[in-house]
Amino acid sequence: MKFFSALILGLLLGAVSYSQTTYKATNFTWEKAAVLSFSDTIPDWEVMLQNIEVPAPGGSSYRSKLRSMKEEMRKKYPVKRGENFQPAYKTDSISPVIVGQSFEGNIAQNSIPNDNDMAISDSGIIVSVINSRVLIYDTNNDTILKVKSLGSYATSLNATDSKFDPKMVYDPDADRFILVFLNGSTYQKSKVIVCYSQTNDPMGNWNAYALSGNPLSNDTWADYPVIGISNRDLFIGVNTFTNGSSNNSGFTETCLWQVSNYDGYAGASLTTQYYHDIFLDNGIKSIFNICPVKGGTKPYGPDMYLLSNRATSYENDSIFLLHISDSVKSNNASLQIKFLRSDVKYLLPPEAHQQGTNTFDTNDNRILGGFYENDVIQFVEACMNETTGLSGIYHGFIESPGANSPNVRATILGDVSLDFGFPNISYSGRDHRDQESIITYNHTSPDDFAGFSYVYYTNDGTYSSFEKIKTGNNYVDAFDDGDYERWGDYSGSQRRYNETATVWAVGSFGQQTKKNGTWIAELTSTDSIRPSEYPSLEISVYPNPTVDYVTLNFYMEKTSDISVDLYDMNGRSVISLFQDQAKFGQNIFTFSTAPLAAGIYFATITSEEKHIYKQKIVKAARP
């Protein structure tokens, strides 16, 4: 993809005062531009113009400044490869994930980076995309059905400029695919092409729409699409740039399209809203890069959550939670933003190491994937693992995102020898009580050729060992032009909606030819501890014994009023701690034990249905 620029955003290091703000959108209607088909027999010349840029530190472009920032970080956080360290998170050496089908996907040709993404239907058909190329694969018969360039696929659109950055999503409710890609890199020619499959067969016809990459008629064009769906709409985040934005200059702002999927599937006039002027810090700085948050078990809605952060800061803890209030057809959709702070800071990911002096560009801290399930958003981004000085993964959690002040916590995952990059995440639970997820990512080291890996997150907050899906065949030196290589800039991940606990993912590996290859894999959790086996009338408590505070973790079958009460060992009431509503799903209740004398107590949780949860608590004497 064409690399971005955001020089001003690289300075966003400090704290800001920020309150929730509501943004309205500009409405547009788009007529169907063409009907496209993957099954046509038009000759495919696979024409592509590839710009090769290796930014040197000290240059004027954003990427050059980013490299300079990372070199400064390296002085503070030197690499400690191979040294023993204890991670700050719980681990389990045994992974309960089985790797099923696993195979090479799209061949990159000279498209750099790959920009991997994919979608899989309930009938087992995969549409895998890389920069300017689409592959359709039948997992049932282990067969490639079609490989086609975006250029030949979109010939009837009468859009002859470069086509790039394809993104894929599958809608399980409609049993349809949606493909989004870009055309042109000037404000006069920029278009966002949105294609809806007319049936669940991607080999058939698609309804195509050509949204303007410059709908405000200014001097900007659209790049960096990121997409996601609710159960009503499609959301497309784009970054906009001024004309002549070479060498990663000219970033203007990040904008967001909200598109009616009902119109697209029917081939009708497309109802859309375009959110712009999404500025922070009293209108001085634009939000940068918006990542839609997909559903866990299935798309949710009609509202939609999206995420952003200080992606180009040296170090930060800011998370921006965006919320679209309704569907575009409701005529009531609006955008609100909450400024949140995580309990763990993220640092720019350092360049990843290959053999010798060869390195990979790990890009910035932008949020690359997330899902919403059980009233919790899980998300991932690349970051530095401060303990080892290597590139790691920032795994974040936003609890109760609809609350006034949602809690944000995070864990930084890393290895003693491997650099990680371009993670994505999908829900892998078996029923509505689960919080399981599978995180996939690229890996590399001086002793390990670039490959594709995963780590599994369990219901009890434990991470599995880091497991390799595909080991590379060589280091990557795509154009034999130096040591600095492109590694991403994305990877794809999607739950198989009609199969329990199964995720399909796509990432990169080093081919024998020293180019980035594409690898697709099926990952299924076989975790034997199922939420249906959890005692329904128990709560967990920690720490226990306790000195200063205690936390009760309990599950609600449905939202209802509860009372939390504390009793001494003789059954006498000590205090009624809480009387209010608790939401469906997992809940966490914390209170201070400082007012209590040392001894044994019992906490009870009583719901309106008279279900009683009871837990013994030991208050220890202060040392």
Residue 2 lies in a domain: no
Residue 286's nearest CA partner among 241, 344, 221 is 241
Note down the domain range covering 572: 535-619
**300-352 pLDDT tens trace:** 999 999 999 999 888 999 999 999 999 999 999 999 999 999 999 999 999 99
Phi, psi of 68 (to 5 degrees): -65, -40
Q: How many Cα atoms are found within 13 Å in the side-chain-facing hemisphere of 364?
A: 27
- Residue 595: phi and psi, rounded to 5, are -75, -10
Nearest to 479 by CA among 112, 150, 157, 17: 112
pLDDT of residue 6: 35
C-alpha Rg value of the chain to the nearest Å: 25
In this prediction, residues 523-551 reach a mean pLDDT of 68
Question: Does any domain span residue 105?
Answer: yes
Beta-carbon contacts of 280 under 8 Å, excluding residues fewer than 6 positions away, are 16, 18, 286, 287, 320, 337, 339
Residue 506: what residue type?
Answer: V
Q: Quick check: 126 pLDDT over 50?
A: yes
**Beta pairing class for 359-361 and 484-486:** parallel
User: Given pLDDT bands bounded at 50, 70 and 90, which one contains residue 379?
Assistant: very high
* Residue 539: CATH number of its domain: 2.60.40.3880
The percentage of the chain sitting over the pLDDT mark of 90, rounded to a whole number, equals 57
Cα(527)–Cα(556) distance, integer angstroms = 22
Query: With left for phi above 0 and alpha for psi between -120 and 50, is residue 401 left, alpha or beta?
Result: alpha
Round to whole Å and give the CA distance between 296 and 426.
7
Assess whether pLDDT exceeds 90 at residue 356: no
Q: How does pLDDT run across 8-41, given as a tens digit for each residue?
A: 333 333 333 344 466 768 999 999 999 999 987 7
pLDDT number for residue 47:
63
Nearest Cα residue to 263 out of 202, 216, 208, 203: 208
- Do 511 and 615 fall into the same domain? no
Per-residue pLDDT, averaged over 587-612, amounts to: 80
Stretch (H or E) spanning 150:
helix 150-153
- pLDDT of res. 347: 96
20 falls within a domain: no
- Per cent of the chain over pLDDT 70 is 86
Q: Give yes or no: residues 512 and 585 share one domain.
A: no
What is the per-residue pLDDT across 129-161, written as a single tens digit (0 to 9) for each? 998 899 999 999 999 999 998 888 988 898 878
CB 306 within 8 A of CB 60: no
Do 170 and 306 reside in the same domain of the chain? yes
**Same domain for 274 and 415?**
yes
Structure tokens at 82: 């191979």
| Whether residue 174 is found in the same domain as residue 232 | yes
Last residue of a domain, one of 525, 546, 574: 525
From residue 512, how far is each of 232, 361, 472, 475 by CA, in Å? 44, 20, 8, 8
- 343 and 365 share a domain? yes
Is there a domain that residue 5 lies in? no
Q: Are 510 and 548 in a shared domain?
A: no
Which of 7-16, 502-511, 516-525, 578-587 shows the lowest mean pLDDT across its residues?
Answer: 7-16
Please name which of 506, 492, 441, 444 lies closest in space to residue 472, comparing C-alpha atoms. Answer: 444
Is residue 124 a part of any domain in this protein? yes
Average pLDDT over residues 590-612: 80
In whole angstroms, give the CA distance from residue 359 to residue 68: 15
Tokens of 180: 């989004």
DSSP lists the bridge partners of residue 525 as: 97
pLDDT top residue among 251 and 201: 201
15 is a domain residue: no
Q: Are residues 476 and 583 in the same domain?
A: no
Q: Is residue 502 part of a domain?
A: yes
Average of pLDDT values for 456-470? Answer: 91
546: closest CA among 437, 451, 622?
A: 622
> Is residue 17, in this structure, part of any structural domain at all?
no
Number of domains composing the chain? 2
In the structure, what pLDDT confidence band is assigned to residue 258 with cuts at 50, 70 and 90? very high
Checking if the pLDDT of 489 tops 50, the result is yes
Residues 504 and 595 in one domain: no
For residues 339 and 318, is the Cβ–Cβ distance under 8 A?
yes
User: What's the mean pLDDT in 109-129?
Assistant: 89
With 90 as the cut, is the pLDDT of residue 486 above it? no
Co-location of 70 and 111 in the same domain: yes
Averaged pLDDT of the chain: 86
For the stretch 544-580, pLDDT in tens is 888 888 888 877 777 788 888 888 876 778 999 988 8
Of the two residues 484 and 493, the one the predictor is more confident about is: 493
Q: Is the pLDDT of residue 434 over 90?
A: no
CATH code: domain of residue 436: 2.120.10.10
Does residue 410 register a pLDDT over 70?
yes
Neighbouring CB atoms inside 10 A of 409's CB total 12
Asked which of 470, 504, 525 is the last residue of a domain, the reply is 525
Same domain (yes/no): 482, 583: no
Which residue, of 525, 545, 570, is where some domain finishes? 525
Are 319 and 445 in a shared domain? yes
- Picking from 160, 171, 307, 316, the residue whose alpha carbon sits closest to that of residue 237 is 307
